[in-house]
Amino acid sequence: MSDASYLSLEKLTLAYGDTVAVADLDLDIRKGELIALLGPSGCGKTTTMRAIAGLLPVKSGQVRLDGADMTRVPANKRAVGLVFQSYALFPHLSVYENVAFGLKLKGMRGAELDTKVQAGLKSVGLSSFANRKPAELSGGQQQRVALARSMVMEPKVLLLDEPLSNLDARLRLEMRTELQRVQKETGVTMIFVTHDQAEALALADRIVVMKGGAIEQIGTPEDIYNRPVSSFVADFVGFENIFPLEGGKLRTSGGLIELSGEAPSAAGLAWRPRMVTLGTGPFRGTVRGTSFAGDSREYLLDTSLGAIKAEVEAALPAHALGADLLFDLPAGKAALLSKFS
Amino acid sequence: MNARSLFIPVTLFLVIAFLIGPFLIIVAASFSAGETLAFPPQGFSLRWIAKVFTVESFQASFAMSLFLAIGGTAAALVLGIPASYALSRYKLPGAEIVRTVVSAPIIVPGIIVGLALLRYIVVPFQVGITLALFVAHTALVLPYAVRVVSASLDNLRSDIEEAAVLLGSSRLGAFFRVVMPNIRGGIMSAFILGFVTSFNQVPVSLFLSGPGVRTLPVDMIAYMEIVFDPSVAALSSLLAFLSIGIVFAAERFLGFSRYV
Amino acid sequence: MFQNRAEALALALPAALFAAAVFLVPVVILLSDGFRSPVGGWTISAYTDFFSNTLNQTVFLRTLKLGALVTVVSAVIGYAAAFAIVNLEPGAKGRMTGLVVLPLMISPVARTYAWIVILGRTGIVNQAFQALGLTEAPLRILFSETAIFIGLLQLFLPLMIISLISALENMPKDAIPAARVLGANWFQVFWKVVLPLTKEGLVIGGTLVFTGCLTAYITPAILGGSKVLMLETLLYQQVSVSNNFVSASVIAFILIVMSFAANILLKRVATARNKMRSQP
Ligand SMILES: Nc1ncnc2c1ncn2[C@@H]1O[C@H](COP(=O)(O)OP(=O)(O)OP(=O)(O)O)[C@@H](O)[C@H]1O
Ligand SMILES: [Mg+2]
């Protein structure tokens, strides 16, 4: 086993009955890495997690963990933790008993058990809630019980399915830091699912972007943010001006357009609104909409290329609706897309 | 196929075979051409099915059972709908006592209900058997009527009556104009459940039979003790298809299972 | 909520008075008969007499035994069946549930009657046993406890399955996978998660089945015959053959006490388990 593949999925295909949900997925994860699984609803994130945990039979391919083939190992023998989107706390058990559940199954008893459970509760700040039932906790507290319940098992891999999605903005930020701290302290390998690109960028060592049951791109947050490989990823991470490239020219709703500067070789180009030069340039557009966002201002332009979004510093003088502006899409700044869909 | 994936189909097959199989055997046996009840059936004929319609006591007891099931259930609804309405919409003093009293006949063995009625109502007050049976079946269906109608009343927002009253309707008018139309499905379901319960009921009717006055199931048991031919099987099959048909139609048109 | 008391009583009293007059009062008088001394005053001698008779003892114990056995067996089969049904696709789930409910719509006379064809001397079971060479002469299955057991199980299993299906469906959706991931094998998943979370359905189903067994008349009458009696059939015999109304009253009281006791006992068992496990 190389260090680069502590957990590896090889040509993993997963199906519900005859409908394939994930096809030929390859993924290698290093020990101690924090991976974010990002993608639109229904792209197979939960399905992939369930297969890693052993809750869904694998149709073909392999799941390997720490050098061993896990593909046919049942869920209760995998040492994989899973925090469910619904938390899945046992409603008939107290918080304490929930956290102790897995440890007891391992045969742990008495003082050793108590020490572990108390430590687990303490690490998520719920020591004083030990005797409550899950129904008597807030959503965020339930989430933390679910986290503690998985963490005390010291899993080789901890999977979190949209762990922060049901929390309000403040709690979300709090739990984000919490997750990061736990991960740094224990060094556990973690995969978490999220819909939220900001969350993925902030937390993850690497981000896996999924689309339609396959991986679209794997990379560091910088890679994903600055160098999306496809129009899909570009769109997902906030590029708003995305065009296919044909023979060095931009295909727009206004026909093929020659760019200023050297035309790069790629399937498409993408610019964030901030990358659009406003005030000078070969193209002309009319302001159709404007919105103020604190330290910046966004303009929606009607142009011969179609609609263009541009963003400039708010300190600059504002343009009125209907104003005619010159602008440029500098080829040098664009993200080069190797796939356009 | 491994053991786990076989578990579901095998379990289901065995359970359904155990639950439905005997009934299918009865159906097959009713088409037998032989003289005695047996499986596999000897030959094929419709003679036993035809015979069901010629046995006179069956005709009389079928009419009696039909009368009891329809009349008793209707009476139970006449008593049960107002009671359910009071239980669900009013602050009723002693609501729990009322609820317990009307639903008690469900908990006490039917044979006891029948015996008690015979000893302390029929004999001392010289009540006719038919009336006694009618009263007994009404009491028996009452708990089901109250339960099902209450459930559909509880599913109906209570502010619609208040709205109707505010719009100038009387309380009674509000009930008939806005409540009844909305719980019609529940009432029909209660009727069907009551009908099936009453029609299939034996123990309550056991002591309450007199010369020529018997319910159909009691009559069937009596017939079987004397003649063991496939006509009872034929009759059973016919009745079963009748109740299955009614319940199916009810489910189709009313969503019966929502209320039961 | 309307506040008018007179109106509420006017609506509720007809039903309550009717049930009281034709049901409650006669049944209470019937029950009190068993405690009435022939020389005036109250006594429990009818009960001591009843239980000193060995035939009565046998019938009482048989009723208790068959009720308990049918309840336990239907719970075991019921969990397997309900689990299988809950895990089906939505369409198939509806159809299977329909098939389970179907027998409830069929007259118990017909359902019991079928077993005569199956279990009789020349019935299918005996035919099969003889064809396989398992027995020489036909076995006597009918008119035995076994026959009553089979008949009662078939009669009441649907009630247990239905109760357990709704209990299983009301379980939090990821509870079972969560237990699996935390290291529970299937047996532990059932014992530590499924059972405690569905115990209310089990109590409801168990009470329905047990009470059903106590109060069933047709099945023991047809499948047990006049020799293998249960309390219900004994009661009928006492009245129709021996005209012994005191003894009938005693049996009636025992039956009612047994159904209530079963209900309370099952609830106790469920809550006791619960208390035990919530101690850290
Ligand atoms: N139990 C199931 N039976 C059949 N199909 C399913 C089942 N669960 C999921 N699917 C399908 O598999 C695909 C992937 O689903 P999955 O739950 O993995 O999506 P996801 O990426 O987690 O989405 P979300 O972000 O909405 O949670 C979807 O098309 C979904 O419809
Ligand atoms: Mg999901």
Q: pLDDT digits over B132-155, tens only?
A: 999 999 999 999 999 889 988 988
In a domain, B68, yes or no: yes
DSSP A339: B
Counting Cα atoms < 13 Å in the Cβ hemisphere of B79 gives 26
pLDDT class of A281 with cuts at 50, 70, 90: confident
**Residue-level pLDDT at A179:** 84
Mutate to test the pocket of ligand 1, among A13, A14, A45, A49 (most ligand atoms within 8 A of CB): A45
Q: Which domains does chain A have, with CATH numbers?
A: 3-228 (3.40.50.300), 234-337 (2.40.50.140)
The type of residue at A104 is: K
Percent of chain A's residues with pLDDT above 90: 61
**Residue-level pLDDT at C279:** 39
Q: Which domains does chain C have, with CATH numbers?
A: 49-275 (1.10.3720.10)
Phi-psi region of A136 (alpha: psi -120 to 50; beta: other; left: phi over 0): alpha
> Which helix or strand (DSSP H or E) is residue B226 part of?
helix B216-226
Q: Which residues are CB-contacts of C26 (< 8 A; sequence separation ≥ 6)?
A: B116, B117, B119, B120, B121
Q: Which residue in A178, A175, A179 sits closest to A167, CA to CA?
A: A175
Say what the pTM is.
Answer: 0.84
Q: What is the pLDDT of residues A18-40, one digit of tens each?
A: 899 999 999 999 999 999 999 99
C61 touches chain B (CB under 8 A): no
The stretch C233-249 carries a mean pLDDT of 91
pLDDT class of C280 with cuts at 50, 70, 90: very low
Q: Cα(A115)–Cα(A99) distance, rounded to whole angstroms?
A: 12
Tell me the two tokens of residue C32. Answer: 């009190």
pLDDT class of A165 with cuts at 50, 70, 90: confident
Residue B212: pLDDT over 80: no
Residue A234: pLDDT over 60: yes
Cα-based distances in Å from B38 to A244, B42, B52, C140 = 79, 8, 17, 16
**CA angle (A308, A314, A317) in 5-degree steps:** 90
In a domain, B30, yes or no: no
Check: CB of residue C27 under 8 Å from CB of residue B116: yes
Residue C198: pLDDT over 90: yes
Q: Cα(B192)–Cα(B254) distance, rounded to whole angstroms?
A: 11
Out of A116-120, A164-168, A202-206, pick the least confident: A164-168
pLDDT class of A302 with cuts at 50, 70, 90: very high
Mean pLDDT taken over chain C: 88
The stretch A84-107 carries a mean pLDDT of 92
Q: What is the pLDDT of residues C62-82, one digit of tens each?
A: 999 999 999 999 999 999 999
Cβ count within 10 A of residue B63: 11
Q: What is the pLDDT of residues B10-42, one digit of tens each?
A: 999 999 999 999 888 888 888 888 887 777 777
Higher pLDDT, C194 or C268: C194
- A34 CA → ligand 2 middle, Å: 18
**Residue-level pLDDT at C130:** 83
Of the candidates C180, C274, C277, the beta carbon closest to that of A76 is on: C180
Q: A101–C192: do the CB atoms touch at under 8 Å?
A: yes
Q: Which residues are CB-contacts of C175 (< 8 A; sequence separation ≥ 6)?
A: A88, A90, C193, C197
Q: A97–C277: do the CB atoms touch at under 8 Å?
A: yes
CATH, residue B128: 1.10.3720.10
Residues of B within 8 A of C215 (CB-CB) are: 109-111, 203
- Which chains contact C through at least 3 pairs of Cβ atoms less than 8 Å apart? A, B
Q: What is the 3-state secondary structure (H, E, C) of B244-260?
A: HHHHHHHHHHHCHHHCC
Please tell me which residue of chain C has the smallest CA distance to A149.
C182
Check: CB of residue A14 under 8 Å from CB of residue A44: yes
In a domain, B15, yes or no: no
C84 touches chain B (CB under 8 A): yes
**Residue-level pLDDT at B259:** 55
pLDDT class of A176 with cuts at 50, 70, 90: confident
Pairing of strands A7-16, A60-65: antiparallel
Q: Cα(C124)–Cα(C105) distance, rounded to whole angstroms?
A: 25
Of the candidates C174, C184, C277, the beta carbon closest to that of A76 is on: C184
The type of residue at A56 is: L
Q: Which residues are CB-contacts of B68 (< 8 A; sequence separation ≥ 6)?
A: B133, B134, B137, B198, B199, B215
Q: C117–B243: do the CB atoms touch at under 8 Å?
A: no
Higher pLDDT, C265 or C97: C97
Q: Cα(C225)–Cα(C144) distance, rounded to whole angstroms?
A: 8
The stretch C154-162 carries a mean pLDDT of 94
Q: Cα(A209)–Cα(A39) distance, rounded to whole angstroms?
A: 6
Task: State the nearest Cα–Cα gap between A26 and chain C, in angstroms.
Answer: 23
pLDDT class of C277 with cuts at 50, 70, 90: very low
In a domain, B246, yes or no: yes
The boundaries of the domain holding residue B159 are 54-258
In a domain, B13, yes or no: no
Tell me the two tokens of residue C57. Answer: 């003892």
Q: Which residue in C269, C168, C172, C166 sits closest to A134, CA to CA?
A: C172
In a domain, B32, yes or no: no
Q: What is the pLDDT of residues C7-55, one digit of tens each?
A: 888 999 999 999 999 889 999 999 998 898 888 888 899 999 999 999 9
In a domain, B75, yes or no: yes
Mean pLDDT taken over chain B: 85
Pairing of strands A249-252, A241-246: antiparallel
**Residue-level pLDDT at B4:** 65
Q: Which residue in A239, A323, A246, A245 sits closest to A287, CA to CA?
A: A323
DSSP reduced 3-state for A73: coil
Pairing of strands A306-313, A241-246: unpaired
Check: CB of residue B244 under 8 Å from CB of residue B61: no
Q: Which residues are CB-contacts of B82 (< 8 A; sequence separation ≥ 6)?
A: C10, C11, C12, C14, C15
- Which chains contact A through at least 3 pairs of Cβ atoms less than 8 Å apart? C
The stretch A277-289 carries a mean pLDDT of 90
Residue with tokens 């249960």: C230
**Residue-level pLDDT at B206:** 87
Pocket of ligand 1 (CB under 6 A): A 16, 19, 21, 39, 41-47
Residue A254: pLDDT over 90: no
Cα-based distances in Å from C60 to A28, B30, C31 = 69, 37, 18
- A42 CA → ligand 1 middle, Å: 5
Q: What is the pLDDT of residues B62-116, one digit of tens each?
A: 999 999 999 999 999 999 999 999 998 888 888 889 988 898 887 788 888 889 9
| Predicted ipTM > 0.90 | no
The type of residue at C174 is: D
**Residue-level pLDDT at C276:** 46
Out of A192-201, A202-211, B158-167, pick the least confident: B158-167
Counting Cα atoms < 13 Å in the Cβ hemisphere of C209 gives 35
Strand partners, A257: A250
pLDDT class of A159 with cuts at 50, 70, 90: very high
The stretch C96-119 carries a mean pLDDT of 86
DSSP reduced 3-state for C107: coil
Order across the sheet with A189-194: list the strands.
Answer: A80-83, A157-160, A189-194, A34-38, A206-211, A214-219
Of the candidates C180, C197, C280, the beta carbon closest to that of A91 is on: C197
pLDDT class of A3 with cuts at 50, 70, 90: low
Out of A283-287, B25-29, C1-5, C137-141, pick the least confident: C1-5
Q: Which residue in B192, B86, B101, B98 sits closest to B148, CA to CA?
A: B192
In a domain, B48, yes or no: no
What is the full DSSP assignment across C23-49?
A: IIHHHHHHHHHTTB-TTSSB--HHHHH
Please count the structural domains in chain B.
1
Percent of chain B's residues with pLDDT above 70: 95
Cα-based distances in Å from C255 to A69, A103, A240, B37, C60 = 60, 47, 78, 34, 10
